[in-house]
A and B are shown apart, each in its own frame.
Chain A
């Protein structure tokens, strides 16, 4: 509730970025939820009533965005693709948060050797190029989990854990020294009670901002994985990156629609999520926040009920005293 009020009271660029971002994201969320209703065909459907779709049919007519080289309806793929994208984003952000936040809390609170080791490991992980890391994990997970949404989300998770870890760990290290933590110890709280009841709520405040910014990044990485053929298999779910890659081989011959529409979707969603992240950052971060102020309007200086001017009244009082 408090957060909504803060968001509502902001002004300027942050506010507009947030609102535009939220509106755009909402469009994709609607696509994702109502994909079976909105999309005319299934994502892996290549024929209707036993009749195969035409190959690379021009946009318009029966096929809003045309059809692609492997006989898919591009519009249906884009709509279904937003469901895949949001599923992967949400899963990877949740996974990364669920692992990264407690690990950071633990590391920052315990300190010492455990902390040093974890920080070293996370920094090593963080210093890898994120795409490379995702590729490695995608390879490893493909044998174990398969080429579906979950394995794609898991390979992205590995990239983002260090970010949550670092932020939470650093805030924990400073919050650990706070008097209220010592006070908690003084009333007999054990280490887990302190972490859960005293530190957690005070260190997770910056996590939503990282989560939204990561979401945008995750989408890009997911598309890159798909483009390289390492992401979600086309039969498992519609994935924009894969569609771009397939469409690209036809682009030479002037067939632009199979890759343009998924690419547009990626760009729009990434922009939307970045707007939300930046807007949220500006809104939630008090150092950047500017409040919307009501314009102050003074009452008219005309005659009021008593028959005297307000200012004259005040002046008269001043004289009397």
Chain B
């Protein structure tokens, strides 16, 4: 039965994570597998603390590869967590999702449900809509026969697939994308869940039906007292849909706060960049977009310090500059026409040793004085390059140039105004008051060990 649940009846978080880590083992190449070399691990989630309040819509925003989908799947127990805890505050007391296995985990699915990104892929092509929507009830042995049909019809009507007779016996391939997504939502709500994890539910849909689906989800939330975790890379839809927004970058939450505050006063440079990336419908009002340079880094070996620093336009000395950033700067230099690549390349020598993340670097195969001169030239070309702020010393030891960087700080999630942000530019403002985190149900983020 689809009944209204009053979210204010039991305040507090409905589901929360505590230092949640999900690491994936990489397979490695054929040789590595044969010889049993140490496999690399991707840190899809690296210490995430998040709490979904009852009856709220929490947006999870980030680029591809930031770990937002993994977080959504981990909450449902679809991905095993490697460390940390997930606590679901069920009506009959808190339960640990991260400890559940097999039957218990399957039972949990009556309370936590998911809406998928691609509605065409999320429905079994050989099941009719009525079968697919009713299957959760069959699996959990909740209803059968006439009762099952009644509840399927009710659920289909609830999501706007009416008249039901027109859709019930169709196969997914007979429906449009929007209709399929409605069917997926119908399947998700038929068990009367408390939490719905919506993983980019509108990104595969036509523009014309996106707003309708979002409106449907808002209606369902109000009517059924659901709580949503809305995963998206589209800040514009998050602004319309979410009460709070969490910005994710490389497996961490870098900023979290009320939607209005995030949009009005973004603090983390990454948030600012994402906001600037929202397309402007008016071409005459082109805004300057200093979008973050480069791509999201390798999550198997994240940058030292703050993982956003290589792409950050506001980076400072203690952001965690390291040898790999130097390589990027050098290679950037060689893309200029003025650079004499062949000579300079020989002068610099082995670049691959810069690939180990270290705060010191040795550079130069030739005359160290000339290497120093080259570095000076590179610096003069782009004096604003934030890397140079992080260089503590740059000197020749007679054979090569030794560069050492400032020791980086891995910023934890700290209170800053109405939001929490993980950035060295926002030092702990609550230090005097002794409040280092817990506010709005969200506790401090990264543990700083990185």
What is A's interface to B at a CB cutoff of 8 Å? 178-180, 182-190, 193, 197-198, 201-202
Q: What's the Cα separation between A314 and B306 when bound, in Å?
A: 69
Q: What's the Cα separation between A178 and B76 when bound, in Å?
A: 18
Least CB separation from A198: chain B residue: B124
Cβ of B103: which chain A residues have Cβ within 8 Å of it? 190
Q: Are A185 and B125 in contact (CB under 8 A)?
A: no
In angstroms, how far is the closest chain A Cβ from the Cβ of B140? Answer: 6
Binds A, one of B41-49, B113-121, B320-328, B407-415: B113-121
Cβ of A179: which chain B residues have Cβ within 8 Å of it? 116-118, 121-122
Q: What's the Cα separation between A187 and B139 when bound, in Å?
A: 8
Interface flag for B238 (CB, 8 Å): no
Q: Are B78 and A189 in contact (CB under 8 A)?
A: no
Ordered by A's residue number, 30 sampled pairs between the chains whose C-beta atoms are within 8 Å are A178-B121, A179-B116, A179-B117, A179-B118, A179-B121, A180-B122, A182-B78, A183-B114, A183-B123, A183-B124, A185-B78, A186-B76, A186-B109, A187-B109, A187-B113, A187-B135, A187-B187, A187-B188, A188-B106, A188-B107, A188-B108, A188-B109, A189-B135, A190-B103, A190-B139, A197-B135, A198-B124, A198-B127, A201-B127, A202-B126
Least CB separation from B140: chain A residue: A188
Given contacts A189-B139, A197-B135, contact A184 B124 (CB under 8 A): yes
Q: Quick one: which of A180, A189, A193 contacts B123, CB cutoff 8 A?
A: A180
Q: What's the Cα separation between A8 and B84 when bound, in Å?
A: 59
Q: Quick one: which of A180, A182, A193 contacts B139, CB cutoff 8 A?
A: A193
Interface flag for B110 (CB, 8 Å): yes
Q: Are B110 and A183 in contact (CB under 8 A)?
A: no
Least CB separation from B110: chain A residue: A188
What is B's interface to A at a CB cutoff of 8 Å? 76, 78, 103, 106-110, 113-114, 116-118, 121-127, 135-136, 139-140, 184, 187-188, 191
Least CB separation from A205: chain B residue: B126
Least CB separation from B113: chain A residue: A186
Q: What's the Cα separation between A189 and B78 when bound, in Å?
A: 12
Least CB separation from B107: chain A residue: A188
Q: Quick one: which of A184, A197, A202 contacts B125, CB cutoff 8 A?
A: A202
Report which residue of A180, A185, A202 has the largest number of chain B beta carbons within 10 angstroms of its beta carbon.
A180
Least CB separation from A187: chain B residue: B136
**Given contact pairs A179-B117, A188-B106, a sample of 20 additional A-B residue pairs in the complex whose CB atoms are under 8 Å apart:** A179-B116, A179-B121, A179-B122, A182-B78, A183-B114, A183-B122, A183-B123, A183-B184, A183-B187, A184-B135, A186-B76, A186-B113, A186-B114, A187-B113, A187-B136, A187-B139, A187-B187, A188-B109, A190-B106, A197-B127
Q: Are A180 and B125 in contact (CB under 8 A)?
A: yes
Cβ of B117: which chain A residues have Cβ within 8 Å of it? 179
Q: Are A197 and B124 in contact (CB under 8 A)?
A: yes
In angstroms, how far is the closest chain B Cβ from the Cβ of A2? Answer: 10
In angstroms, how far is the closest chain B Cβ from the Cβ of A249? Answer: 55
Q: What's the Cα separation between A202 and B125 when bound, in Å?
A: 8
Least CB separation from A186: chain B residue: B114
Q: What's the Cα separation between A187 and B124 when bound, in Å?
A: 13
Cβ of A185: which chain B residues have Cβ within 8 Å of it? 78
In angstroms, how far is the closest chain A Cβ from the Cβ of B203? Answer: 13
Least CB separation from B118: chain A residue: A179
Q: What's the Cα separation between A184 and B113 when bound, in Å?
A: 11
Q: What's the Cα separation between A116 and B108 when bound, in Å?
A: 32
Q: Are B136 and A202 in contact (CB under 8 A)?
A: no
Cβ of A190: which chain B residues have Cβ within 8 Å of it? 103, 106, 139
Report which residue of B107, B113, B122 has the largest number of chain A beta carbons within 10 angstroms of its beta carbon.
B122
In angstroms, how far is the closest chain A Cβ from the Cβ of B134? Answer: 10
Least CB separation from A199: chain B residue: B124
Cβ of B184: which chain A residues have Cβ within 8 Å of it? 183
Q: What's the Cα separation between A249 and B238 when bound, in Å?
A: 86
Q: Are A180 and B121 in contact (CB under 8 A)?
A: yes
Q: Which 8 A-B pairs have the closest CB atoms?
A: A188-B109, A201-B126, A179-B121, A188-B106, A187-B136, A186-B114, A180-B124, A183-B122
Cβ of B78: which chain A residues have Cβ within 8 Å of it? 182, 185-186
Cβ of B135: which chain A residues have Cβ within 8 Å of it? 184, 187, 189, 197
In angstroms, how far is the closest chain A Cβ from the Cβ of B135? Answer: 7
Cβ of A178: which chain B residues have Cβ within 8 Å of it? 121
Cβ of A183: which chain B residues have Cβ within 8 Å of it? 114, 116, 122-124, 184, 187
Q: What's the Cα separation between A178 and B172 when bound, in Å?
A: 15
In angstroms, how far is the closest chain B Cβ from the Cβ of A189? Answer: 5
Q: What's the Cα separation between A193 and B140 when bound, in Å?
A: 11
In angstroms, how far is the closest chain B Cβ from the Cβ of A286? Answer: 13
In angstroms, how far is the closest chain A Cβ from the Cβ of B181? Answer: 12
